[in-house]
């Protein structure tokens, strides 16, 4: 059972810890789960920020998309254990995912399927001559078999994932846009669409970060989620 209020993960896509803390304070009690991505994690006090979030009663998702030699990935993932981190991400082949899964400890490991910033043309450029949905399902199946707890996948593919692989893994969907967007996210859905398709969590960044009132923007999404799951 996932607490309804935890289903919204706010992405702290900002360049400094000070700005991240300011955004968290601005959002207040309208969000309880935050994602720390690569840009923010590369600041000198990223672990201090994670501790601060945990001290405030927030859950933390570290989105670093580990991709390297399997042994290196395993050791890197192991550095996150025991810190109160809920989720972390891995990206790569079966050996990489297995090494990460063996070292994950108390962290739930999510495997990246296909980035939401990629479309059909991008996959052609990368040499993937297959349907996007089929590729997502294939990568998800291998991730679960390797010991991952779930996947990162667009809400567009969540329905196909549930149909093919069932309910016994997590689906976390980025690329959430409450309204039309013109940024670098290409495969996007609304919050309600993502959950109706089978997502467990959604990750929302710019629509909250760039809002005139981040707290109100986050609460509007929370209200949508609450109405959907209480219906």
Q: Which residues are designated catalytic? A: 65
> What letter would DSSP give residue 189?
B
Distance CA 172, CA 178 (A): 16
Please list the alpha-helical segments (H only) found in 79-174.
94-103, 120-125, 132-146, 155-165
For residue 28, with 0-12 CB atoms within 10 Å meaning exposed, 13-18 middle and 19 or more buried, which class applies?
exposed
Query: What is the longest distance spanned by two Cα atoms in the chain?
Result: 47
| Distance, CA of 54 to chain centre | 18
Our CA angle for 154, 160, 165, nearest 5°, is: 110
């Amino acid at each position: 059972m996932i607490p309804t209020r935890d289903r919204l993960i706010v992405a702290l896509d900002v360049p400094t810890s000070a700005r991240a803390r300011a955004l968290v304070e601005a959002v207040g009690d309208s969000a309880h789960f935050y994602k720390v991505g690569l840009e923010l994690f590369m600041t000198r006090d990223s672990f201090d920020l994670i501790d601060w979030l945990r001290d405030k009663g927030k859950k933390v998702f570290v989105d670093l998309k580990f991709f390297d030699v399997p042994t290196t990935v395993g050791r890197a993932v192991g550095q996150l254990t025991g810190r109160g981190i809920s989720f972390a991400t891995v990206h790569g082949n079966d050996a990489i995912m297995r090494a990460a899964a063996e070292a994950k400890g108390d962290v739930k490991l999510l495997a990246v399927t296909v980035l939401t910033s990629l479309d059909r043309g991008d996959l052609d450029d990368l040499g993937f001559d297959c349907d996007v949905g089929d590729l997502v399902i294939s990568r998800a199946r291998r991730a679960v078999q390797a010991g991952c707890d779930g996947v990162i996948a667009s809400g567009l593919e969540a329905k196909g994932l549930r149909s093919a692989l069932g309910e016994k893994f997590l689906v976390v969907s980025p690329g959430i846009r409450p309204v039309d967007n013109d940024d670098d996210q290409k495969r996007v859905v609304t919050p309600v669409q993502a959950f109706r398709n089978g997502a467990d969590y959604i990750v929302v960044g710019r629509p909250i970060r760039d809002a005139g009132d981040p707290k109100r923007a986050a609460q509007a999404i929370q209200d949508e989620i609450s109405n959907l799951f209480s219906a």
